[in-house]
Amino acid sequence: MASAVSVAASPSPLAATSSPARRLRHAALPSARGPRSPALRAVFGPAGNRRGVVGRGLSVLCAVQGQDTTIQVPDVTKATWQSLVMESELPVLVEFWASWCGPCKMIDPIVGKLSKEYEGKLKCYKLNTDENPDIASQYGVRSIPTMMMFKNGEKKDSVIGAVPESTLVTCIEKFTER
Protein backbone atom coordinates (compact mmCIF):
# COMPACT_ATOMS: atom_id res chain seq x y z
CA MET A 1 0.00 0.00 0.00
CA ALA A 2 1.52 3.29 -1.04
CA SER A 3 1.45 6.10 1.46
CA ALA A 4 1.41 9.74 0.61
CA VAL A 5 2.51 12.63 2.75
CA SER A 6 0.66 15.89 3.21
CA VAL A 7 2.87 18.71 4.39
CA ALA A 8 1.72 21.80 6.22
CA ALA A 9 4.35 24.49 6.75
CA SER A 10 3.89 27.55 8.90
CA PRO A 11 5.83 30.76 8.32
CA SER A 12 8.82 31.13 10.57
CA PRO A 13 8.24 33.31 13.64
CA LEU A 14 11.84 34.43 13.18
CA ALA A 15 10.81 36.45 10.13
CA ALA A 16 9.05 39.09 12.22
CA THR A 17 11.66 39.39 14.97
CA SER A 18 15.07 38.99 13.31
CA SER A 19 17.53 40.81 11.09
CA PRO A 20 16.85 41.33 7.35
CA ALA A 21 19.57 38.78 6.44
CA ARG A 22 17.99 36.17 8.67
CA ARG A 23 14.51 36.91 7.28
CA LEU A 24 15.89 36.53 3.77
CA ARG A 25 17.31 33.08 4.58
CA HIS A 26 13.96 31.88 5.92
CA ALA A 27 11.97 33.49 3.13
CA ALA A 28 14.13 31.75 0.52
CA LEU A 29 13.05 28.30 1.68
CA PRO A 30 10.90 26.58 -0.95
CA SER A 31 7.37 25.71 -0.02
CA ALA A 32 6.71 21.99 0.33
CA ARG A 33 4.48 20.44 -2.29
CA GLY A 34 3.80 16.81 -3.06
CA PRO A 35 1.27 13.99 -2.86
CA ARG A 36 -1.37 14.50 -0.22
CA SER A 37 -3.16 11.95 1.90
CA PRO A 38 -5.26 12.21 5.04
CA ALA A 39 -3.51 9.10 6.40
CA LEU A 40 -0.13 10.76 6.93
CA ARG A 41 0.55 14.33 7.89
CA ALA A 42 3.81 16.10 8.63
CA VAL A 43 3.58 19.25 10.70
CA PHE A 44 6.46 21.71 10.86
CA GLY A 45 7.06 24.12 13.70
CA PRO A 46 9.94 25.94 15.34
CA ALA A 47 12.17 23.64 17.37
CA GLY A 48 12.19 24.31 21.09
CA ASN A 49 9.37 26.84 20.88
CA ARG A 50 8.29 26.79 24.50
CA ARG A 51 6.57 29.79 26.09
CA GLY A 52 7.41 32.04 23.18
CA VAL A 53 11.12 31.14 23.06
CA VAL A 54 12.15 30.60 19.46
CA GLY A 55 14.90 28.05 18.77
CA ARG A 56 16.88 27.43 15.60
CA GLY A 57 15.79 24.98 12.95
CA LEU A 58 12.55 23.14 12.49
CA SER A 59 11.10 20.14 14.22
CA VAL A 60 9.08 17.60 12.28
CA LEU A 61 6.23 15.52 13.64
CA CYS A 62 4.80 12.71 11.53
CA ALA A 63 1.59 11.06 12.62
CA VAL A 64 -0.32 8.16 11.19
CA GLN A 65 -3.98 8.86 11.71
CA GLY A 66 -6.36 6.00 12.44
CA GLN A 67 -3.65 3.33 12.64
CA ASP A 68 -1.79 1.87 15.60
CA THR A 69 1.12 0.00 14.09
CA THR A 70 2.88 -1.05 17.30
CA ILE A 71 2.11 -4.21 19.22
CA GLN A 72 2.63 -3.82 22.95
CA VAL A 73 4.73 -6.54 24.58
CA PRO A 74 3.59 -7.16 28.18
CA ASP A 75 5.94 -6.39 31.05
CA VAL A 76 7.32 -8.98 33.43
CA THR A 77 8.57 -7.99 36.90
CA LYS A 78 10.24 -9.69 39.82
CA ALA A 79 6.79 -10.44 41.23
CA THR A 80 5.54 -12.10 38.02
CA TRP A 81 8.82 -13.65 36.80
CA GLN A 82 8.23 -17.10 38.29
CA SER A 83 4.68 -17.57 36.99
CA LEU A 84 5.11 -15.94 33.56
CA VAL A 85 8.60 -17.09 32.57
CA MET A 86 9.81 -20.00 34.69
CA GLU A 87 6.52 -21.92 34.81
CA SER A 88 5.42 -21.26 31.22
CA GLU A 89 4.50 -24.29 29.14
CA LEU A 90 5.54 -22.42 25.98
CA PRO A 91 9.02 -21.08 25.19
CA VAL A 92 9.46 -17.49 26.39
CA LEU A 93 11.38 -14.62 24.79
CA VAL A 94 12.28 -11.93 27.33
CA GLU A 95 13.53 -8.54 26.17
CA PHE A 96 15.74 -6.86 28.80
CA TRP A 97 15.44 -3.11 28.21
CA ALA A 98 15.43 0.38 29.76
CA SER A 99 13.42 3.48 28.91
CA TRP A 100 16.54 5.57 28.13
CA CYS A 101 18.03 2.97 25.73
CA GLY A 102 17.83 3.98 22.04
CA PRO A 103 18.60 0.51 20.61
CA CYS A 104 15.90 -0.93 22.91
CA LYS A 105 13.36 1.39 21.29
CA MET A 106 14.53 0.22 17.87
CA ILE A 107 14.08 -3.49 18.60
CA ASP A 108 10.84 -3.24 20.59
CA PRO A 109 8.56 -3.12 17.48
CA ILE A 110 10.36 -6.19 16.09
CA VAL A 111 9.75 -8.14 19.30
CA GLY A 112 6.10 -7.00 19.19
CA LYS A 113 5.73 -8.19 15.61
CA LEU A 114 7.30 -11.57 16.43
CA SER A 115 5.02 -12.00 19.46
CA LYS A 116 2.04 -11.70 17.11
CA GLU A 117 3.56 -13.99 14.45
CA TYR A 118 4.37 -16.72 16.99
CA GLU A 119 1.16 -16.37 19.01
CA GLY A 120 0.29 -19.74 20.53
CA LYS A 121 3.86 -21.03 20.04
CA LEU A 122 5.85 -18.45 22.02
CA LYS A 123 5.30 -15.94 24.81
CA CYS A 124 7.09 -12.59 24.72
CA TYR A 125 7.71 -10.27 27.66
CA LYS A 126 9.76 -7.15 28.46
CA LEU A 127 11.76 -6.70 31.65
CA ASN A 128 12.84 -3.17 32.61
CA THR A 129 16.38 -3.57 33.94
CA ASP A 130 16.22 -0.28 35.87
CA GLU A 131 13.18 -1.46 37.82
CA ASN A 132 14.30 -5.12 38.16
CA PRO A 133 18.12 -5.10 38.41
CA ASP A 134 18.24 -8.29 40.48
CA ILE A 135 16.80 -10.46 37.69
CA ALA A 136 19.04 -8.82 35.09
CA SER A 137 22.15 -9.50 37.19
CA GLN A 138 20.97 -13.05 37.99
CA TYR A 139 21.11 -13.83 34.26
CA GLY A 140 24.31 -11.85 33.60
CA VAL A 141 22.76 -9.07 31.55
CA ARG A 142 25.48 -6.46 31.03
CA SER A 143 24.26 -4.83 27.81
CA ILE A 144 20.80 -3.90 26.64
CA PRO A 145 18.82 -4.72 24.69
CA THR A 146 19.33 -8.40 25.47
CA MET A 147 16.77 -10.96 24.34
CA MET A 148 16.78 -14.30 26.18
CA MET A 149 14.99 -17.50 25.28
CA PHE A 150 13.66 -19.63 28.12
CA LYS A 151 12.17 -23.11 27.77
CA ASN A 152 10.98 -25.32 30.63
CA GLY A 153 12.24 -22.74 33.13
CA GLU A 154 15.80 -22.75 31.80
CA LYS A 155 17.73 -20.10 29.90
CA LYS A 156 18.46 -21.59 26.49
CA ASP A 157 19.91 -18.78 24.36
CA SER A 158 20.48 -15.03 24.27
CA VAL A 159 20.92 -12.35 21.63
CA ILE A 160 22.54 -9.04 22.52
CA GLY A 161 21.94 -5.75 20.74
CA ALA A 162 19.53 -4.28 18.21
CA VAL A 163 19.81 -7.14 15.73
CA PRO A 164 17.89 -7.75 12.50
CA GLU A 165 14.57 -9.57 12.71
CA SER A 166 16.10 -12.59 10.93
CA THR A 167 18.56 -13.09 13.82
CA LEU A 168 15.72 -13.25 16.35
CA VAL A 169 13.69 -15.56 14.09
CA THR A 170 16.66 -17.97 13.89
CA CYS A 171 16.90 -17.99 17.69
CA ILE A 172 13.15 -18.48 18.14
CA GLU A 173 12.91 -21.26 15.55
CA LYS A 174 15.41 -23.38 17.52
CA PHE A 175 13.01 -23.60 20.46
CA THR A 176 9.49 -23.45 19.01
CA GLU A 177 7.57 -26.32 17.49
CA ARG A 178 6.84 -25.99 13.80
Report the catalytic residues.
Answer: 101, 104
Name 54's Cβ contacts closer than 8 Å, sequence gap at least 6: 13, 14, 17, 46, 48
Could you give the CA distance from residue 117 to residue 127 in angstroms, rounded to a whole number? 20
Could you give the CA distance from residue 122 to residue 109 in angstroms, rounded to a whole number? 16
b/e burial code for range 104-124 (CB count within 10 A of at least 16 → b):
beebbebbbbbbeebeeebbb
Which candidate, 115, 104, 97, 126, places its Cα nearest to that of 176? 115
Which candidate, 70, 103, 87, 100, places its Cα nearest to that of 151? 87
